[in-house]
Each structure stands twice: as structure tokens, then as C-alpha cells.
Amino acid sequence: MIEKLDEFKGQLEELDSKLSDPNVMKDMSAYKNLMQERSRLVPIVEELTSLKDLMEELKDNEALSKESDPEIAEMAKEEIPALKERIEQTQKHCKMLLVPPDPMEGKNIIMEIRAGTGGEEAALFAADLYRMYSYYAESMHWKLEEISSNATELGGYKEVIVSISGKDVYGSLRWESGVHRVQRVPETESGGRIHTSAVTVAVLPEAEETEVEIRQEDLRIDVMRAGGPGGQCVNTTESAVRITHIPTGLVVICQNQKSQLQNKAEAMRVLRSRLYDLEAGRKAKERAEERKSQVGSGDRSERIRTYNFPQNRLTDHRINLTLYKLDLIMEGHLEDVVEALKIAAGEEALKEAQ
């Protein structure tokens, strides 16, 4: 990595030269693009410079550790482990910075959580995952809004759809797409046997209206009464909206909002993101038909993770990550999981870029 330092320094000097040109200042679009590129390059140059300095310091200490003066040699030896640890951390950070930026990185998301195999226990685990992501979003100071949900009598969810907005939301949660498997003794099980259930999570980058063209003639819109587990949850007016996108067969139902107009707007928001994700997935498949990322394809049918409650263990199968603190993770402490997935994805992207 260090051999690239001079190359990045040259690029930064060239950018600074362009930015000092009065003609560039007149074109605000060009100026903004150059500033964005500069803000990407500056931390790369700083971190690679830091790595170079640390490696030179390690080399000096290794030489001093062989000195004839025992006091100097001992002091040098004591500093070597800490230097190696700092170098390892800086190298990881450099790898992340060198990954080509994803154009969707800064997007907000639509997250869909659906109960799969396992009946009521799967629905209860869907509610647990929803709670976990809610706590994590709160810790990251993101805004989470529920768009649509289908609750069960026991407090689970057959399906819940939310939007999450804030800094680096898609970049942090994009790898949550897939099948999440749970192994535990269900609350509904009196015999104390461990059951295996599954929940599917989909993370869709939220699309702007200008990014996806949806023709009215391609839509079938039906209105109906909102459903629910009973009592006050059942609506008495036809406010629920079902939108079918005829060319793709995609169906979105929204019933959480008070008015038909609001539900229609939310359903269109979800449909737009699903179509955007569908097109992005098609392009990604075309770009790398024969290759598969280390952290998975993002396919909703791929089993990505197991939550084993009796052993307090979480295992992410894509990167062979095992953590024995499931209780904390379910309380929203997802930092270690997210960071490990980011690093693995970054290393894979770096390999592909080389």
C-alpha cells in the first residue's frame, strides 16, 4: 500500500492546482466534484503517511533492539508489540479508504423484515430483529420510520417495512440482506426443545423519484380495508392500498397510515426502491457474472447468519465471524458485526479493483 503514497500525493497536488484556477471557481458543479474528490484523497494520503512513519519507526526499533547497550535494546523491544498493533490497525483503515466509493453508499434505505420458516416463532424473531435494528439506528442517531407492518396476536410480525435515514445508513446495513436463522427454545414451546426458525431481511437503497421512472399505465391500484390482529387495529374504512407493478409482478401493500392518500404515497416509495434495487442487482450480475463477493451476493435466499440463544452465539457464515455476546447484539450493539463485514467487503472490492 505504501508504494501508492506518491501516486496519491501527486493526484492531490494536481487537484489543489485545479482548485486554485479562477475559471474552475466559476463552474460550481466542477468545483463541487473536485472538492469531493479532494475530501476522499486527503484521509488516504494522511493515513498512508502515518503508516509509512510507523513502519520506519518499527524498523528503527528493531535495529535498536540489537544494540550492545542492554538498556537501549530493552526499551526498543518493549515498544515493538505496540507499534506492530498500531501498524495492523492503520493497515486495516488504509484498506477501507482505498476501496473505490460505492455510488449508493450515502443513500437511505427501506428495510423489509419477513417471517419465514417457523410459524409464530419466526414472527416473534422478526419482531426481535426489528427491535435490534431500531436500537442500533438510535445509537447511530439515525431516523427510523415504520412504513407498513402485519402484526400477529402474540406480538410478532409476519412482515414489517421501515425506512432508515441518516449518515452512511446503506453503507452500514447493506450486508444485512439475506436469511437470518434463529436457534432457541420458543416462548410457544412448553417442552423446552430447541427450534430452528428463519427470518428474511431485505435492505433496499431508497430511490429518488428522478432515479426510477414508473408509468401509471404499468400500475394496478386497489383499495381495501386495513387488516390486523383484531380489536382497534382493524380499520373500518377503505384506507389500505395495494399497488401491483404489472411488468415485474411486484406487489406492495400499505395500511399503517390514516388515509388512503398517505398509504398510496408510502406504497409508491417502497415500490420505487424495489424497482431500483432490482435494476441495480441486474447490473451487478452483468458486471460480475462469474464472481461472488466474499460477504455474499445479497440474495434474499442466502442464509447469512445464525443466532444461537442457548450458547449466546452469533455466527456470520459469509466471513466466518463468531461472537459470544448475542445478548448484547440483540440489544442493538451491532458495531463489531458491521465493522467486520465492512472490512471483508472492502478487502474483496480491493482485490477486484486491482
Each domain of the chain, given as residue ranges in start order, spans 2-98, 109-286+295-353
> Residues 113, 122: contact at Cβ < 8 Å?
no
Tens of pLDDT, residue by residue, the chain (354 residues): 788 888 999 999 999 898 888 888 788 878 888 887 888 899 999 999 999 999 999 999 999 988 888 888 899 899 999 999 999 989 888 877 877 767 777 789 999 999 998 889 999 999 999 999 999 999 999 999 999 899 999 899 999 999 999 988 998 999 999 999 999 987 766 667 888 999 999 999 888 776 788 888 988 998 887 665 544 444 456 788 899 999 998 998 888 888 888 888 888 889 988 888 888 777 666 655 544 444 554 455 678 999 999 999 999 999 999 999 999 999 999 999 999 998 888 777 767 655
Q: How many residues does the chain have?
A: 354
> Residues 153, 229: contact at Cβ < 8 Å?
yes
Residue recorded with cell 390482529: 229
The pLDDT assigned to 343 comes to 82
Q: How far apart are CA 116 and CA 158, in angstroms?
A: 8
Fold designation for 109-286+295-353? Alpha-Beta Plaits (3.30.70)
**Residues pairing with 201 in the sheet:** 113, 178
C-alpha cell at 287: 458486471
The pLDDT assigned to 236 comes to 52
> Residues 11, 41: contact at Cβ < 8 Å?
yes
Give per-residue pLDDT as tens, 293-302. Answer: 445 544 556 7
Q: How far apart are CA 162 and CA 143, in angstroms?
A: 10
DSSP element (H, E) containing 112: strand 109-115
Q: How many CB atoms lie within 10 A of CB 212?
A: 16
Give the residue ranges of DSSP H helices in the chain.
5-19, 22-26, 28-64, 70-98, 119-139, 169-173, 260-287, 326-329, 335-353
The amino acid at residue 181 is R
> Residues 246, 220: contact at Cβ < 8 Å?
yes
The pLDDT assigned to 139 comes to 96
The pLDDT assigned to 313 comes to 97
Output the CA–CA distances (angstroms, integers) from residue 54 to 58, 79, 127, in the order listed: 6, 12, 47
Buried b (16+ CB within 10 A) or exposed e, 96-108: bbbbeeeebeebb
Of the options 3.30.310, 1.20.272, 1.20.58, 3.30.1240, the CATH number for the domain spanning 2-98: 1.20.58
- Let me know if the fold of 2-98 is the same as that of 109-286+295-353: no
Which of helix, strand or coil describes residue 161?
strand
Output the CA–CA distances (angstroms, integers) from residue 207 to 30, 33, 109, 248, 253, in the order listed: 24, 22, 8, 17, 18
Give per-residue pLDDT as tens, 161-187. Answer: 999 999 889 989 999 999 999 999 877
The pLDDT assigned to 232 comes to 45
Q: How many CB atoms lie within 10 A of CB 163?
A: 20
Closest to 248 (Cα-Cα) out of 213, 206, 289, 219: 219
Buried b (16+ CB within 10 A) or exposed e, 167-176: eebbbbbbbb
Which of helix, strand or coil describes residue 31?
helix
Give the torsion sign (CA, 58, 59, 60, 62). Answer: positive
Closest to 203 (Cα-Cα) out of 140, 263, 280, 266: 280
The pLDDT assigned to 298 comes to 47
**Residues pairing with 353 in the sheet:** none
The pLDDT assigned to 208 comes to 77
The pLDDT assigned to 290 comes to 42
C-alpha cell at 317: 457464515
The pLDDT assigned to 305 comes to 96
Q: How far apart are CA 306 and CA 314, in angstroms?
A: 6
* CB neighbour list of residue 144: distance below 8 Å, 6 or more residues apart: 133, 134, 137, 138, 162, 163, 164
